[in-house]
């Protein structure tokens, strides 16, 4: 069994969330990924701890600074 590895470096943005829908601030990918099967997927990072906007902005800055790479590994 072989493995197929796909990588993409997403552009991140912070979204405020919506109190009406019960969502808190989260980090979203600004653009669709070039990974097969995810070309039209909206991907975001949500948090159970319900951080405030400032905490999510700080985390986003740190992920960008660290050079976040999104990886999908499939067995083929």
- The DSSP output letter for 30 is S
The overall average pLDDT reported for the chain is 92
User: CB atoms < 10 A from the CB of 48, how many?
Assistant: 6
- For residue 15, pLDDT beyond 90: yes
Model confidence at 51: pLDDT above 90: yes
Q: Mean of the pLDDT values across residues 23-45?
A: 91
| 3 state SS of 16 | coil
Residue 17 confidence (pLDDT): 87
Pair 45, 57: CB distance under 8 Å: no
Q: How far apart are CA 4 and CA 27, in angstroms?
A: 27
Q: Does the pLDDT of residue 20 top 90, yes or no?
A: no
């Amino acid at each position: 069994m072989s493995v197929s590895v796909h990588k993409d470096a997403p552009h991140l943005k912070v979204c405020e969330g919506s109190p009406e829908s019960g969502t808190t601030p989260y980090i979203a990918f600004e653009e669709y990924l070039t990974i097969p099967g995810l070309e039209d997927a909206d991907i975001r990072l949500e948090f159970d701890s319900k951080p405030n906007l400032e905490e999510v902005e700080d985390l986003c800055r740190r992920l960008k600074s660290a050079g976040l790479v999104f990886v999908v590994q499939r067995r083929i």
